[in-house]
Structure formats: structure tokens, C-alpha cells
Amino acid sequence: MKNRCFVPFVTVLIPVALSLSGCTSAPPVPTKPAAEPTASREIVADWHLYSMGLYYKSTKNYTTAIKYFLDAAAHGVALDLVYEKLAECYSLLFDYDTAINYAKLSIEKNPSSPAPYLLLYRIYVNLNNHQQAAEALEQLIAVDPEPVEVHFRLGVHYYTRMKNYDRALVSFRAILDIAASKHVEDRFLEYAHYYIGYIHYNKGQIDASIEHFARSADINPGNAQTLNILIILLMHSTQIDRAAGYAAQFLERYPDNARMNAVMGQILYLRNSPRAKSYLRRGMGDASPYGITARGLYYELLRRDDRALASIKKSLENNPGAVAAHVALAKLSLRKHKKRVALSEYFTAGILLYKAKQYSDARTYLTKSLALDDGIPETYIYLGKISEETGNRSLAIVHYKKANQLQPRSDIYSHLGYLYSQRNDFAESMRNFDRAIAMEPKNPKSYFIKGIVLSDRKDYPRAEQEFRTAVSLDGNDTYYFYLATVQEKQRKLDEAMDSLRRALAVNAENPRACNYLGYLYADNNMRLDESIDLIRRALKHEPRNGAYLDSLGWAYYRKGDYQRALKKLLEAQRLLERDKASDPVVYDHIADTYKMIGDREKALEYWRKSLHLEKNPAIETKIREIEALIKQQGN
């Protein structure tokens, strides 16, 4: 009766059939029914009766099996297993009420055994009581949160049967969290990402959806359904480079798929590749909007302009974001000597590609637009943005200056001021800020950006002046936050805290302001309960923010709750190191905490870590003092 194992039932999932594996061993059973138990065999009666119950259950004689299990139960041995088998038998006889009662009795006897919870789940599903089915699995997870199979089953249940996507998301994310610390089978990871991708898609969160579908496709490149969804989303988002890679992967396996040929043809058309024509020809039979676009592009390449124009117009009616269709319309317009239409279409294609961060392609079509009319300032602004995004600040400045020659704008002057500061041309930086302010003296953004540049140069008094002007024109929480940063740098602690309180009066949920004010309270050993509340508010918005966790740990330290402080500080260390953002202050806080709980060796270890990142005389003093204490302790 001590040999126990978990034998879960198999369920068909959408869109893939997965079953949960488990042990199938059981106590040995006789090859034929044994004689009725007698008093002379009392010493083994419980085992014998249970075995007979298993035998009759295996032969699907559930009524006789129940009789033996009930007789076994009378001995009071291993009742959790006996009740579980009774529940199974009654469920197989469709007596669900009795089955539920025995499953619950089994759980009472042994809450850690998964089998009765899973049986309850199956019964409630059969009864279409999906809420109680979910609760059965939730109770099992509360007892043992580790089994990935249970999280997966619960996630699919929430998603497919209850349409509760938020709860499904919790279950699938739990699988990813478990995978961070232990091995999880690829099939569960693949479909966890797959379902999360659909949940984000249903919420309109396309970027997040794409990333999870991509993770699913990377785990199993052979899943055509996932690849298809991913490629269509990437094309819809104009992420041409990524779509091309996955489309090529798809076509390696399914070279005759019309839709993927249409997709690949569009991509190659945008790159002006001669290979586009063959893909477009194979894709133009697809009934989707991609097939319509493929027809238009194919006929444009053949210069059958009337047929091309009809398909292109229909394509843009269905999908105004179809970049290749805009390019084709530009080419058709040029052939009809409609220069302004061609210019507009090239410009539109360039902007769509820029917004999708397809900078090389965007530059190509904006340059074509520029060749048709070099007097449009917006074209130079976008070319400047592309140059800046790709790391060419010098060329960005050239483009922005040209835009301002055509049509001066204060925001462009402000941005030029920022770019010149990045090149350490401080004089030219200030000249551009002054031009911006002269153009629009009531625009707070110019003062704000100028203040940031001055703060970066550690000119805190002048930065404070600019931030104060910005605040006087628009007292938003961001301006107050940055004002507080330079006030604190000047040791104007009361003024800094007042600015942060003003920021929170404007936006009580600003996480940076909550954390900063909470940390200042903690660091100065004041209002510690309020400090903890503020930092917790910040963490509600960003629960994995290492800096915020450090603040909370430090607040607990100030309250003398060193164990709780150490837990939060070590978590902060782990997250910051994961993000390659290790902070000497965090190491210092951890060392202080270890010292207070009496672990001098650990304190020394973390002060040395802090000193390795940043030279600090105060840390050097702490190290000397702790080394002296350790030496004295050794003597």
C-alpha cells in the first residue's frame, strides 16, 4: 500500500494533443479472483482486498471493484488510495456525486496526492462545470506549484473552455518561470509561448504577440501553423527582415504554398530583386489580400499597368499598410507622369518602413521621394531620424539643419542642441537651445531638454533653473521628478522631497517618483512606513526592477528588519546582474546588512565587490574596519 504513483488521464488539447505522463505501476493482482477473505487471513486482509479491487477495476467490473474497495476501507489503512480508487470507479459508472465525495475524502486524507484533484477536474469537465474544474487544478497548484503539466492543463482549460485569457496567461507564464530554474520539455515551452502569443494578439498587443510566436517557432521550426501566424503578423507590422527569414524557413518545407510565395515576392519586390517575379507568379493565386497584392506587383513588373493598377488599388483598400503596394503605385504613377502621386507614395512607403525600424529600406524610398522634390522639410527630418537611429549623428545633424533651413522649428533646434551636446560641442549645443527658446519662449520642452544636458554636465545650478522654468510653464510629474534629481545633487534634500511630493500630487502612480521619494526617506532614516508604502507602489508597476527592490531592502534595513532586508537586496542584486547593471550602492547595502546579522566575511565580500565597481573612500574605510574585526576575532 506504500507504492504510490500519479496516473493522470489523457486530454486532447487545442491546437495540439498532449498527454501527461506518469507512473503506471500498481500492487500485484491475482490472475483470477481469489476466494472471499476470511477472519483467518485478517493480517493481510487490507492488502488483499485492495488488490482484488484493482483486479476487478482492470476488468471493468466496477461494481465488484467497489465492493472490495469498501471492504478494504473498513480496515482504515491507506484510506487516501482506497478513496481515490472508489472515486475512479464511481466516476466510470457515471455516479459523479459519489465520485466527487470520495475524491474529496481522498484529498482530506492526503492533500499532496495529485490524482484525486485531477479526477475532480475530469468529472467537472464532463459535467460542464468549468469553474469548479479550474478550482480543482488551482487547489493542486497551491499544494504543489512545480508540475508543469498541471499549469499547462489549467492554462488550456482557461483559454479554450472559459475564454478567461488573463487567468490563462498566469498559467502559461508560470511555465516560463519554472523553465528559468529547471528543465521543461520543449513541447510545453513551445505551446506556452504559442498560447501567450494568441492572448497578446487578442489584447491588441502585437509586438508582444510576435515575440512569443517567434519563441514558439524557434523551439519547433516545423510547426507550420505557428510560422504562418508569425509571418503574417510580421508583415502586418512591416518587419520585413524578420518576415523574410521565417518565410524562407517556411518555403524550405512547403515550397508550393501560395501565400508564403506571395509574402516572399513582396519582400523581394521591395528590395528590387529580380527573383521577385517567380515568387509573385506562384503567389498570385492565393485568395488572401497577399495574393491580390502579388497580382498587382507581378503585373507591374510585366508593365501591364491597367491590370496592375486595379489589383494595387484593391490591395490598398484591404490593407493601407501594404508597403510594396505603395511602391508599385509610385512606379505606376511615374509612368503616367503623375509626379506628385509618386512622391507621396514613396514618402508613405518610407515612413511605414521607418516606423517598423526597417531603416535601410526606409532610407531607399525616402531618398526616392527626395529625388522628386528636395524642398520638403519632413523628408529631411525622417532621414535625420534614420541616421540618428543607425548611429550616424553627424549625418543626422546635416539632415536636421537642412530641414530647419527650409522651415525652422523649435523642436528641431532643441534636438540639435541635444545632438551637439553628445558630440561635446557644448557652445553649439547652447546656441541651438537658445534659438529654440527664442522661437517659442512658452514651450517647456526646450527648457527641459536643456536642463537634462546641463545636468549631464553636472552643472546642477543651471539645470535647476531650466527645470524650474519648465515646471512654471507645465507642472507635469516628469519635470518635477528631474527637478528633484538636481536638487538632491546639490544636497537640497527638503526641496528635492517637496518636488517629488508635487510630482506625486500630479500623478500618484509615477513609479520613479514613488521609488525616489521612498528611497530618500529610507536613506535619511525618516518616515519609514511611508517609505515602504511608496516603494511598494513603485514595484506594483515594475515588480522586477532591481533598483526599486534595493530601495525596499534598504527601507527594511532602516527599520531593523535585517532578514527581510537581505532577501530583497539579494533579489535586487540578481536582477541587476542579469541586466548587466550591477550597482556599487546595492553591494554596499548588502554588506551593511550582513554586518548587522553578524556575517563579517560576507560583509567584506560585498564591500570588495562595491569597491571593484567604484572607488569610494567610505567603502575603503569600512573594509579596513571589518578586516580589523575579523583579524581580532581570529586571534
Q: What pLDDT band is residue 45 in, cutting at 50, 70 and 90?
A: low
Residue 108 lies in a domain: no
Question: For residue 632, how many other CB atoms are within 10 A of its CB?
Answer: 8
Backbone angles phi, psi at 317, to 5 degrees: -65, -40
Instruction: Give residue 152's pLDDT.
Output: 97
Mean pLDDT of 409-422: 96
- Residues belonging to the chain: 635
Question: For residue 304, how many other CB atoms are within 10 A of its CB?
Answer: 11
Cα pseudo-dihedral 333, 338, 339, 343, rounded to 10: -50
Residue 604 lies in a domain: yes
Residue 198 lies in a domain: no
Mean pLDDT of 363-374: 97
Residue 80 lies in a domain: no
CA angle 556/561/562 to nearest 5° reads 95
At 247-272, the pLDDT tens digits run 999 999 999 999 999 999 999 999 99
Cell of 34: 481469489
3-state secondary structure of 524: coil
Does 423 have pLDDT greater than 60? Answer: yes
- DSSP code of residue 330: H
Q: What pLDDT band is residue 36 in, cutting at 50, 70 and 90?
A: very low
Contact (CB, 8 A) for 448 and 482: yes
Instruction: Give residue 635's pLDDT.
Output: 53
Mean pLDDT of 531-556: 96
Cell of 258: 501560395
CA distance 531 to 549: 12
Cα pseudo-dihedral 334, 335, 338, 343, rounded to 10: -10
Does 506 have pLDDT greater than 90? Answer: yes
At 113-141, the pLDDT tens digits run 999 999 999 999 999 999 999 999 999 99
At 441-479, the pLDDT tens digits run 999 999 999 999 999 999 999 999 999 999 999 999 999
Instruction: Give residue 19's pLDDT.
Output: 28
Residue 524 lies in a domain: no
Tell me how many helices (H) and strands (E) the chain has.
Answer: 34, 2
Residue 612 lies in a domain: yes
Contact (CB, 8 A) for 141 and 121: no
At 196-227, the pLDDT tens digits run 999 999 999 999 999 999 999 999 999 999 99
Does 12 have pLDDT greater than 60? Answer: no
CA distance 550 to 544: 11
Residue 338 lies in a domain: no
Q: How many structural domains does the chain have? A: 1
Question: For residue 8, how many other CB atoms are within 10 A of its CB?
Answer: 20
Contact (CB, 8 A) for 618 and 624: no
Mean pLDDT of the chain: 91
CA distance 46 to 68: 10
Instruction: Give residue 2's pLDDT.
Output: 35
Whole-structure pTM over 0.85, yes or no?
no
| Domain ranges, residue 586 | 582-635
Instruction: Give residue 37's pLDDT.
Output: 36
Residue 597 lies in a domain: yes
